[in-house]
Structure 1
Amino acid sequence: MKKIILCLSAITLIAFTSCKDDATKKIEEANVTAAALRDADATKFPKLEFNETEYDFGDIPKGTPVSTVFTYKNTGNAPLVITDIKSTCGCTVPEDWSREPLAPGKTGKFTVTYNASGPNKITKTITVSANTESGSEMVKITANVIDPNTK
C-alpha cells in the first residue's frame, strides 16, 4: 500500500511540474534592456584625484593651530559624493567639504586644521570616504612641532 501511495505521489508531482508554462515567455524585452543599461552604468565610478596627497607644515610652534586646504577633482565618469572625512585623532579636524554630488570634471576642496599639541615630527592621515571604486582615499599632513619652552 505504501508503494502505491508513493508511486501515485511521484506521478502527481511530475504531472503538476510538467504542465507549467515556459518561464522564458514571461520575460519582457524592455526589462532586459533596462537591466543591461543599469549593469553598464554600475561599472562607471567617480575618481577622486587630489592636487597633492601630502602637505608638510614644516616647523610649527607647539599649541599653534595650522590649516591647509586640499583640492580635489572628479576625474571619473559618474558624480562624486563624499560621505565623510575623518582623521586619525582629535587634534586634526577636517571641515568644509560639500556633501552635494560633484559632477565629472568639477573640483572641490576641504580644510584640515591641526592643533599642534605635542612636540616632535608628526604624520596624520585623513581618510575621505566616497562613492569611488575603492570606497576611500587618503591624504596626509606632516609637521615638526617645536616646543618653544625647550632649550
Structure 2
Amino acid sequence: MKSSLILRGFFACIVFMLFLSSKPAVHKSRVEWLTPTSHDFGNIPRDVPVECVFVYKNISSEPLTVDNVRTSCGCTAPEWDTGEVIMPDSTGQIRLIFDAHMPGYFYKLAKVYFSGQRKGEKLIIEGEVVKSK
C-alpha cells in the first residue's frame, strides 16, 4: 500500500515535469509584412475619412487567401480582394479606412486571418481627430 502511494507520487512528479518542460506551440506566420503593421495618422480633421494600405508577401510554399479581417469597431472598415489567391512570393494588400466622426484620440486594431492560420495578424491605426475650425 505504502509503495503504491510512493510509485503514484513518483509518476505524478514525472508527468508534471514533462508538462513543465514542453514548449508552447509557436505561431508561424505565413506572411511577411512589407509595410509597418502600425500607422499613426497624427492629427486629422473631423468627418474626413482616412485610409492606410498594409502590404504583405506570401512567404509560404502554399497559395494563400485572406479568410477574414475583423476590426475593433464599426468606425474602421477593412477592404481586401475577397477570394483572391496569393501565390508563394506574391504580394497582397489590406486597406483600413477610418471614419473620423468623433473628436479625440483613437487607437484601432484589426486582425487579419489568413488561410491555414488560427491566430490573426494584428494591424494598428491611431491618431487624433481634431474639430474643424
| Deviation by residue 1:38-60 (Cα, 9 ceiling, x = unmatched) | xxxxxxx8712222100111100
Corresponding residue of 1:72: 56
Equivalent residue for 2:31, pick from 31, 48, 52: 48
TM-score, normalised relative to structure 1: 0.63
TM-score, normalised relative to structure 2: 0.71
- Choose 1 or 2 for highest CA Rg: 1
How many angstroms does 1:101 deviate by? 2.0
Tell whether 2:108 aligns with 1:121.
no
Tell me: higher relative CO, structure 1 or 2? Use CA pairs within 8 A at least 6 residues apart: 2
Q: Distance in 1 between matches of 2:88 and 2:29?
A: 7
Q: Distance in 2 between matches of 1:109 and 1:133?
A: 17
Unaligned runs of 5+ in 1: 1-44
| Deviation by residue 1:101-127 (Cα, 9 ceiling, x = unmatched) | 211110011211101111221110111
Equivalent residue for 1:103, pick from 72, 81, 87: 87
Q: 1:13-32 maps to which residues of 2 (within 5 A)?
A: none
Amino acid at match of 2:59: T
Corresponding residue of 1:26: none
Unaligned runs of 5+ in 2: 1-27
Q: Percent identity over the alignment?
A: 31
How many angstroms does 1:148 deviate by? 2.6
Q: How many residues align?
A: 105
Q: Distance in 2 between matches of 1:91 and 1:137?
A: 20
How many angstroms does 1:79 deviate by? 1.4
Deviates more, 1:46-55 or 1:116-125: 46-55
Tell whether 2:58 aligns with 1:58.
no
What is the root-mean-square deviation in Å for CA atoms of aligned residues? 1.8
Is residue 72–residue 108 contact of structure 1 (8 Å, CA) maintained in 2? yes
Corresponding residue of 1:137: 121
